[in-house]
């Protein structure tokens, strides 16, 4: 392997194995109905040498991620790794344990905690810490506690935990299906992991609200005799995130701000773009704040780093990485280059390029550079030719016309492929498929091109996008069997529930209708007025003057029931109940299996 990568360096493997206590055997976690939600044993194929269907660097990373079980990180600090996409960390206190980041699913969290207890006894959970607002760091919480303990989280946690997946939830979920390869078979020609971990569990997502908010850097808390010092890092890897030190244990938790891969400035499932500048700035602050105060650094993905110099080098290089991407992207943007150009121009300095923890298994130089360009300058590259392009199908028809038919495009694409340019072959074939989605040869050739791109890709997410694309070209779109918003409905605020309704209004159907409804939530003591007009559903808290068409007196649970189609049973009202039926009749349903690789 080129790129200056040292495959003989065993440090990561030593660290991933260090402190091993016991594994889950068999490595299978099931739901109460018997459905398998995690199968660590399905990754045993990674024990073999790298096949020619996987990039060797990605294969190496997946082998590291495939280690599973309970590990001792330091005295009284344990991690369960490899039983979900993320790590559960357990800090032993005076009377029980503090659980950091209880995985994504209730089932995997319960299994992970059971593995710990089997070795260390039935210690009670005395507190939970959510390091940040992503579901793989809180979704399993009901698997370790009933919620009647302090739950610590960075300020803004609840809003962001819920909000990120709500408004564009269906689109994100569909794209996440591609990103995580959830419909791909696990194996050398399929899903092999995506750098941050091997896969996401598919169990039950839960969420107990945070009760202790960390609101400032330097804040200290002591729970169960365990002292903690927090560093808030909003706007880094997540909008609400924090690092924290256990000063008496000399251990530092870096949440997901410094892990063993280049992370995403913009996750390819879609999200608000992150801020690489702030990210690097907070890593500098962490270095300053925690230098000399810890002997081990761990995070909520991957394996720990032991020893002062190793930790400082790791943090410094991670910091340099995000700063470099940010600054060099803007340097080149200010010289007139666009995102897609800069993505090809940027080269990492040799020391970062050769650092295993900076490799682009999850994020990539290519898509992170485009994300930074997007953050500052947006989708438009400034060239008027890009301003008003035809959408994909109309563009495709015109390309086919220019080439003289789909067959001619296929011939050209095969030539480019043979000449070692699968990227352009894919661009050409995309036009053929979008112009004629029933053309089997075009779809099959594009599927083969995607496979070739996948097998060469060091980035696990890119691999999954290509392979899922190939699969759907052959077999059609599938429904992603993972719902990013699952379990979230009950914790939505009324404002967010009305927002989600507004997003579903089929405006052209509704724009001649005007409907005013007052909603009094008897459980919350809150009242809202919604007004449908001009195809928009407006909301305001505290009902203004003026007569509504309908007044409803209900609980938030009733509202969720109505929206789930459970009817109006028991809901008190005053006025024209037909107004509610009309409003519901104007709502559209999102499409969980919309086509991506075909029109």
Enumerate binding residues for Zn ion (CB under 5 A). 86, 134, 136, 256
Q: How far is the CB of 196 from Zn ion (least distance, A)?
A: 7
CA atoms of 564 and 125, how far apart (whole Å): 35
Question: Of the two residues 152 and 445, which places its CB atom closer to Zn ion in the complex?
Answer: 152
Q: How far is the CB of 300 from Zn ion (least distance, A)?
A: 6
Q: How far is the CB of 396 from Zn ion (least distance, A)?
A: 37
Q: What 3-state class would DSSP assign to 511? A: coil
Pick from 311, 360, 584, 352: nearest CA to 461: 360
CA atoms of 310 and 291, how far apart (whole Å): 12
Buried b (16+ CB within 10 A) or exposed e, 541-576: eeeeeeebbbbbebebebbebbeeeeeeeebebebe
Q: How far is the CB of 448 from Zn ion (least distance, A)?
A: 33
Question: Of the two residues 238 and 446, which places its CB atom closer to Zn ion in the complex?
Answer: 238
Question: Of the two residues 136 and 549, which places its CB atom closer to Zn ion in the complex?
Answer: 136
Pick from 252, 255, 258: nearest CA to 294: 252
Question: Of the two residues 136 and 558, which places its CB atom closer to Zn ion in the complex?
Answer: 136
Q: How far is the CB of 81 from Zn ion (least distance, A)?
A: 13
Please give the sequence-ordered ranges of beta strands (E in DSSP) within 454-570, or none if there are none. 515-521, 526-533, 536-541, 550-554
Q: How far is the CB of 357 from Zn ion (least distance, A)?
A: 16
CA atoms of 99 and 153, how far apart (whole Å): 12
Question: Of the two residues 55 and 300, which places its CB atom closer to Zn ion in the complex?
Answer: 300
DSSP 8-state symbol, 132:
B
CA atoms of 109 and 137, how far apart (whole Å): 10
Pick from 254, 255, 276: nearest CA to 265: 276
Strands 97-100 and 69-74: unpaired
Question: Of the two residues 263 and 586, which places its CB atom closer to Zn ion in the complex?
Answer: 263
Question: Of the two residues 53 and 191, which places its CB atom closer to Zn ion in the complex?
Answer: 191
Q: How far is the CB of 191 from Zn ion (least distance, A)?
A: 18
CA atoms of 287 and 264, how far apart (whole Å): 21
Question: Of the two residues 256 and 451, which places its CB atom closer to Zn ion in the complex?
Answer: 256
Tokens of 165: 């997946």
Tell me the residue nearest to Zn ion as measured from the CB: 136
Residue 124: other Cβ atoms inside 10 A:
11
Q: How far is the CB of 312 from Zn ion (least distance, A)?
A: 24
């Amino acid at each position: 392997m080129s790129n200056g990568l040292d495959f003989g360096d065993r440090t990561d493997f030593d660290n991933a194995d260090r402190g091993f206590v016991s594994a889950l055997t068999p490595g299978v976690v099931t739901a109460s109905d018997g459905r398998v939600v995690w199968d660590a044993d399905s990754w045993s194929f990674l024990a073999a040498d790298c096949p020619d269907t996987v990039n060797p660097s990605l294969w190496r990373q997946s082998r590291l991620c495939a280690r599973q079980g309970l590990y001792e990180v330091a005295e009284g600090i344990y991690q369960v790794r490899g039983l979900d996409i993320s790590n559960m960390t357990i800090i032993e206190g005076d009377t029980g344990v503090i659980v950091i980041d209880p995985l994504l699913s209730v089932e995997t969290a319960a299994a992970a905690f059971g593995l710990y207890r089997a070795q260390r006894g039935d210690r009670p959970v005395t507190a939970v810490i959510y390091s940040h607002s992503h579901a793989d760091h809180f979704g399993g919480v009901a698997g370790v506690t009933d919620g009647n303990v302090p739950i610590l989280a960075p300020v803004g946690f609840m809003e962001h935990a819920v909000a990120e997946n709500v408004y564009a939830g269906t689109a994100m979920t569909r794209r996440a299906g591609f990103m995580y390869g959830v419909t791909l078979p696990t194996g050398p020609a399929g899903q092999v992991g995506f750098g941050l971990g091997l896969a996401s569990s598919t169990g039950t997502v839960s969420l107990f609200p945070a009760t202790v908010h960390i609101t400032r850097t330097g804040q200290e808390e002591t729970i169960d005799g365990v002292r903690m010092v927090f560093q808030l890092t909003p706007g880094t890897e997540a909008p609400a995130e924090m690092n924290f030190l256990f000063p008496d244990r000399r251990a530092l938790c870096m949440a997901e701000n410094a892990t063993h891969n280049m992370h995403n400035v913009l996750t390819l499932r879609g999200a608000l773009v992150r801020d690489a500048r702030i990210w690097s700035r907070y890593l500098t602050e962490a270095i300053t704040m925690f230098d000399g105060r810890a002997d081990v650094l761990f995070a909520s993905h991957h394996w720990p780093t032991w020893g002062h110099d190793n930790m400082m080098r790791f943090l410094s290089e991670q910091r340099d990485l995000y700063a470099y991407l940010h600054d060099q992207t803007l340097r080149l943007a200010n010289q007139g280059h666009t995102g897609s150009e800069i993505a090809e121009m940027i080269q990492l300095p040799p020391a970062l390029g050769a650092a295993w923890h900076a490799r682009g298994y999850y994020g990539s130089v290519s898509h992170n550079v485009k994300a930074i360009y997007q953050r500052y300058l947006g989708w438009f590259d400034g060239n008027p030719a890009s301003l008003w392009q035809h959408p994909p199908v109309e563009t495709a028809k015109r390309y086919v016309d220019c080439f003289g038919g789909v067959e001619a495009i296929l011939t050209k694409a095969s030539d480019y492929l043979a000449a070692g340019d699968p990227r352009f072959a894919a661009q050409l074939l995309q036009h053929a498929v979008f112009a004629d989605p029933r053309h089997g040869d075009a779809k099959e050739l594009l599927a083969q091109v995607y496979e070739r791109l996948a097998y060469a890709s060091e980035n696990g997410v890119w691999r999954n996008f290509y392979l899922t694309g190939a699969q759907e070209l052959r077999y059609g779109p599938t429904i992603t069997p993972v719902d990013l918003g699952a379990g979230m409905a009950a914790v939505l605020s009324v404002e967010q529930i009305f927002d989600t309704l507004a997003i579903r209004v089929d405006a052209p159907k509704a724009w001649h209708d005007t409907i005013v409804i007052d909603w009094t939530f008897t459980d919350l003591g809150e009242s809202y007025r919604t007004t449908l007009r001009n195809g928009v559903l407006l909301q305001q808290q505290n009902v203004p003057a003026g007569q509504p068409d309908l007044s409803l007196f209900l609980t938030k649970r009733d509202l969720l029931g109505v929206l789930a189609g459970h009817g109006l049973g028991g809901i008190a009202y005053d006025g024209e109940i037909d107004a509610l039926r009309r409003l519901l009749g104007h709502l559209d349903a999102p499409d969980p299996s919309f086509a991506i690789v075909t029109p």
